[in-house]
Amino acid sequence: MGFGKSQPIHVIRGERPFQAALMSALALLTLLFAGIIVSLMTYTDWDVLVATLLSPEILFAIRLSLITATISTAFAMLAAIPVAYAISHFQFPGKSIVDTILDLPIVISPIALGAALLVFFNTPAGVAIENKLIRFVFEVPGIILAQFTIVTALAIRLLKSTFDSIDPRYEQVGRTLGCTKLAAFCTVTLPLARNGLIAAAILTWARAIGEFGATVTLAGATKQKTETLPIAIFLNLATADVEKAVAVIFILIAISVVALIFLRRISSTRYPR
Amino acid sequence: MIEIKDLSVNVGDFSLIDIDLQIDDQEYFVILGPTGAGKTVLLESLAGLHRCRAGTIWMDGTDMTSVPPEQRQIGYVPQDYALFPFLTVAGNITFGLRGRLNTKDVIKKKVDTLAHLLHLSNLLDRDVRTLSGGEKQRVALARALATSPRILLLDEPLGSLDVKTAKYLRLELRRLHEELGVSTIHVTHNLIEAEEMADRMAIINMGTVEQVGVPEEVFFDPRSETVADLIGTPNILDCDRVKSIGHGLVEAECGGISIILPLHDGGIKKIALFPRDIYISASKPPGPELNRFQGVVQDIQPFSSLTRLTVKVGNNQLLAELPKDIFEEMGITIGQEVFLILKLRRLRIH
């Protein structure tokens, strides 16, 4: 056996069929996803793709998606950090009910959630908000609100597991070293949670970029007004402009791949300085 | 001075009940107890990390029972040290000095002093995750001492270290205590650690204090069966004649055998020796004859991991313990003559 050569994997008798079954499932699923991407590539004329990407409509959709997803992610993280910490660290009556309510947006259909928001803005309270504060229905702020409602639950779930994994002993030591509870949270827990926070922000942002159901219901699908990338796919497919739709799909795939690369890099380092 | 009066604390299903303790200024106080006895909960309650159900904690005449941890001026070293992994060694040491109106010069001077004291000077820029167990322990100590605490709380500080490092750090902890004079409460389940380090000690079990006293009091006069079980039943030899043999040593006649001991202020009336501190040999061991005796095995009691022998030496019946595998290898039987070596430094004098 020479250096640099991979060593053969010795399988204990009886384990081979099990291992083969698992590897087959793995291969099938990878082939399915790869096949979808390859089929998109074969369908695409690359000159048309580049031209489409540079069209004003798609550039608008890219810009709108990036801006709305970034804003909704910022709001979602601001809301999720204290909520996730509270659920992770405090015991209170009705905690499981609160936990279930906060999880609802993860499991409920996004269209149902969008419709519920739309109904809310038809109630007196909703109408007052629309008339006196800010207009959400069929407007850009509606996109942000729809994304926020969907992705905050995800951010809370991700951050809760991050806070759960931090030994409370660190915060206790921080307190004996002169920190108030708030200061210990800011100077001990948040730095310890740094990777989890970044990972949660990336996943939340990626989810917000791809949000469609609640957005289309609350903010509508108006070309170059509330046209995010998923809505652009919907609108172009509706008008049978498949090449444009495919171009947008490629953009979403590229964004997802970049997000996943970032996530992998973060999960491979603990507490980067 | 720290006074704990009738302290009761509930943490989950566990309760500390009516704890009464007094720790003097500059005292090294050890809390000894088995796992789950409530040692850590007591330490955390002193640090202000648990709400007290009843009772009070006084420090230097001030009632600290409801004072939050950040205002108690305590240094706390938890069992696993809990060093902040996102900071360097220097960052960990200076953590408690931030925001205390300390200038950069004051902080640097403090860090340099502590680094020198705890032999950390060449580690200051190191990532704490790359340190050895002993180094981590010293960083945790430096971090706790940086804020000039009134009291130092050490939770099993040597528990996760190998025997050699733990032995070295026991000496270091005592040296540090003598140099700084900070009242220290040290929690451990290790009897040898307690006995070597303590000015006074408290035995705690199932959330209550069983006995408080200097180690000799506890060893020679365990007040309850729990304490006796915890410290193990020592051989107690009554000594009648003691004569000086020079070089700071005395020869004590204890039940027909002569034991050489270090000179002890106030005379020697009794000697306590734990069964685990007697070596047994089937053949005559080489070396000087100091504290070596010949005896006859009277009884053999097997336990799960060790075997306990009763050996008649002079007029004394001494209990000795051997690991089970070594006992089986030696093939000792009742009535056999064996040789005993008493570990001089493990003899406790009353």
Is residue B256 located within the same domain as residue B335?
A: yes
Nearest CA in chain A to B154: A173
Is residue B148 located within the same domain as residue B54?
A: yes
Residues 36-65 of B with CB under 8 A from A: 44, 47-49
CATH of residue B256: 2.40.50.100
Is residue B220 located within the same domain as residue B93?
A: yes
Q: How far apart (Å, rounded) are the C-alpha atoms in residues B91 and B104? A: 13
* Matching residue, tokens 């990390």: B49
Partner-chain residue, chosen from B68, B72, B76, that has the shortest CB–CB distance to A173? B76
Which residue out of A173, A197, A270, A273 would a mutagenesis test of the B interface target, given it has the greatest number of B Cβ atoms within 10 Å? A173
CB-CB under 8 Å, B72 with A178: no
Is residue B53 located within the same domain as residue B104?
A: yes
Last residue of a domain, one of B180, B197, B231: B231
Cα–Cα nearest to B37, from B163, B238, B187, B239: B187
CB-CB under 8 Å, B96 with A178: yes
Partner-chain residue, chosen from B47, B86, B99, that has the shortest CB–CB distance to A176? B47
Is residue B202 located within the same domain as residue B306?
A: no
Last residue of a domain, one of B178, B196, B231: B231
Contacts of B82 in chain A (CB under 8 A): 167, 169-170, 172-173
A80 has a pLDDT exceeding 90: yes
pLDDT, tens digit only, all 350 positions of chain B: 899 999 999 998 899 999 999 999 999 999 999 888 999 999 999 999 999 999 999 998 899 999 999 999 999 999 989 999 999 999 999 999 887 667 888 888 889 989 988 889 999 999 999 999 889 999 999 999 999 899 999 999 888 777 777 888 888 888 888 888 899 999 998 888 888 889 999 999 999 999 999 988 887 778 887 888 787 777 888 888 888 888 888 888 888 888 888 777 767 788 888 888 888 888 888 877 788 888 999 999 888 778 889 999 888 888 888 888 888 888 889 999 999 988 766 666 66
For residue A272, the model assigns a pLDDT of: 46
Is residue B248 located within the same domain as residue B143?
A: no
- 3 state SS for chain A: CCCCCCCCCCCCCCCHHHHHHHHHHHHHHHHHHHHHHHHHHHHCCHHHHHHHHCCHHHHHHHHHHHHHHHHHHHHHHHHHHHHHHHHHHCCCCCHHHHHHHHHHHHHCCHHHHHHHHHHHCCCHHHHHHHHHHCCCCCCHHHHHHHHHHHHHHHHHHHHHHHHHCCCHHHHHHHHHCCCCHHHHHHHHHHHHCHHHHHHHHHHHHHHHHCCCHHHHHHHCCCCCCCCCHHHHHHHHHHCCCHHHHHHHHHHHHHHHHHHHHHHHHHHCCCCCC
For residue B30, the model assigns a pLDDT of: 95
Measured in angstroms, the CA of A242 and the nearest CA of chain B are apart by: 50
Is residue B242 located within the same domain as residue B139?
A: no
Is residue B288 located within the same domain as residue B180?
A: no
C-beta of residue B220 within 8 angstroms of C-beta of residue B236? yes
CA distances from B234 to B112, B224, B246, B274 (A): 46, 14, 28, 4
Is residue B28 located within the same domain as residue B158?
A: yes
Measured in angstroms, the CA of B193 and the nearest CA of chain A are apart by: 24
For residue B29, the model assigns a pLDDT of: 95
CA distances from A189 to A81, A171, B113, B141 (A): 11, 7, 29, 21
Domain chopping of chain A, boundaries: 1-43, 45-268
C-beta of residue A259 within 8 angstroms of C-beta of residue A202? yes
Q: Which CATH superfamily is domain A45-268 in?
A: MetI-like (1.10.3720.10)
Partner-chain residue, chosen from A169, A176, A270, that has the shortest CB–CB distance to B74? A176
Q: Quote the crossing angle between the two packed helices A56-89 and A229-238, to the nearest 10°.
A: 130
Contacts of A169 in chain B (CB under 8 A): 78, 80, 82
Total beta-carbon pairs less than 8 A apart between chain A and chain B: 63
Q: How far apart (Å, rounded) are the C-alpha atoms in residues B342 and B325? A: 21
Q: What's the structural domain count of chain B? A: 2
Nearest CA in chain A to B93: A177
pTM: predicted TM-score of the whole model, two decimal places: 0.77
Domain span at residue B180? Answer: 2-231
Which residue out of A177, A179, A181 would a mutagenesis test of the B interface target, given it has the greatest number of B Cβ atoms within 10 Å? A177
Cα–Cα nearest to B339, from B280, B261, B288: B280
Is residue B195 located within the same domain as residue B244?
A: no
Contacts of A176 in chain B (CB under 8 A): 47-49, 69-70, 72, 74-76, 144
Partner-chain residue, chosen from A167, A175, A271, that has the shortest CB–CB distance to B86? A271
Cα–Cα nearest to B23, from B211, B194, B201: B201
Measured in angstroms, the CA of A94 and the nearest CA of chain B are apart by: 19
- Per mean pLDDT, which range of A11-25, A85-99, A126-140, A225-239 is the poorest? A11-25
Partner-chain residue, chosen from B69, B85, B144, that has the shortest CB–CB distance to A175? B69
> Residues of A near B (CB-CB distance < 8 A)?
167, 169-170, 172-180, 183, 187-188, 191-192, 194, 270-271, 273
Is residue B158 located within the same domain as residue B285?
A: no
Is residue B77 located within the same domain as residue B192?
A: yes
